[in-house]
């Protein structure tokens, strides 16, 4: 079907983006790269969304390193460097977080900041989530400081992720300190997910 389609119509970058999503969900990395190479051979100029779809397909399938290599190649291309934005970098961070490669995660974060690419709440929440899942909550305080220094206020997702991470790491006092700070400074009301994390954390520590 795809061969017939390609012979009959000129595919746009949007179509390639949809196909990247499809092959990513199918976990077919060989076809994914085949499509990317074909897009380049046809000299179809991708958009940031197209690149984002491709990077997400790679990162979601444990190929964050390959995705980063591609991003580096785009950044060296004067015609395509502008396609790389904070969403794409956040996707890379998510990919390294999924594979629990903490060192690579923070290396990409440092590269992102060094390149002057702005971080947003999604970027920081992605980093916090990776810290929570990888058991490295000692790095979360510095991230929170970076977030505030960038003029970005922590939201409910930020606080919920911090609570979850501290509970998972067994530091219940830190989790309740986050809850208190959230209520006192941000006036955010805790939700069911946050309470469930606290209940689970207390149960793990035998704090009946």
Give residue 10's pLDDT: 75
Taking the C-alpha atoms of residue 160 and residue 202, their distance in angstroms, rounded to an integer, is 16
Residue 119: DSSP 8-state: P
Residue 4: partners with Cβ closer than 8 Å, 6 or more residues away = none
Kindly state the average pLDDT of the residues 77-95. Answer: 93
Which tens digits make up the pLDDT trace of 99-143?
A: 999 999 999 999 998 888 889 999 999 999 999 988 899 999 999
Q: Which residue has the tokens 């190649």?
A: 73
pTM score above 0.85: no
| Residue 159 CB partners (closer than 8 Å, separation 6+) | 178, 179, 181, 182, 186, 188, 190, 194
CB-CB contact of 136 with 170 (8 Å): no
- The reported pLDDT for the residue numbered 187 is 81
- What residues contact 20, with CB distance under 8 A and at least 6 apart? 32, 35, 36, 50, 53, 54, 57
> Residue 175 has which token pair?
């989790």
The 10s digit of each residue's pLDDT in 92-106 is 999 999 999 999 999
CA distances, 43 to each of 23, 83, 111 (Å): 21, 15, 29
pLDDT of residue 94: 93
Q: Is the pLDDT of residue 16 over 70?
A: yes
Give the Cα separation of 123 and 141 in Å (integer): 15
CA distance 175 to 171: 7
Q: Which of 205, 109, 193, 181 is nearest to 150 (CA)?
A: 109
Instruction: Enter the tokens of residue 35.
Output: 């499509």
């Amino acid at each position: 079907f795809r061969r017939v389609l390609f012979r009959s119509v000129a595919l746009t970058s949007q179509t390639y983006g949809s196909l990247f999503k499809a092959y990513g969900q199918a976990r077919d990395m060989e076809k994914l790269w085949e499509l990317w190479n074909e897009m380049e051979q046809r000299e179809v100029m991708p958009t940031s969304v197209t690149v984002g779809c491709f990077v997400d397909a790679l990162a979601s399938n444990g190929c964050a390193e390959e995705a980063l290599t591609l991003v580096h190649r785009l950044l060296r291309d004067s015609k395509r460097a502008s396609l790389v934005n904070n969403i794409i970098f956040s996707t890379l961070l998510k990919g390294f977080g999924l594979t629990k490669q903490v060192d690579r995660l923070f290396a990409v974060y440092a590269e992102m900041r060094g390149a002057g690419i702005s971080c947003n709440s999604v970027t920081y929440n992605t980093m916090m989530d990776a810290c929570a899942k990888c058991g490295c909550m000692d790095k979360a305080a510095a991230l929170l400081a970076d977030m505030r220094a960038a003029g970005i206020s922590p939201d409910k997702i930020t606080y919920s992720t911090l609570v979850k991470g501290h509970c998972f790491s067994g530091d219940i006092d830190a989790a309740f300190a986050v809850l208190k700070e959230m209520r006192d400074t941000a006036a955010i009301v805790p939700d069911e997910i946050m309470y469930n994390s606290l209940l689970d954390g207390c149960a793990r520590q035998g704090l009946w």
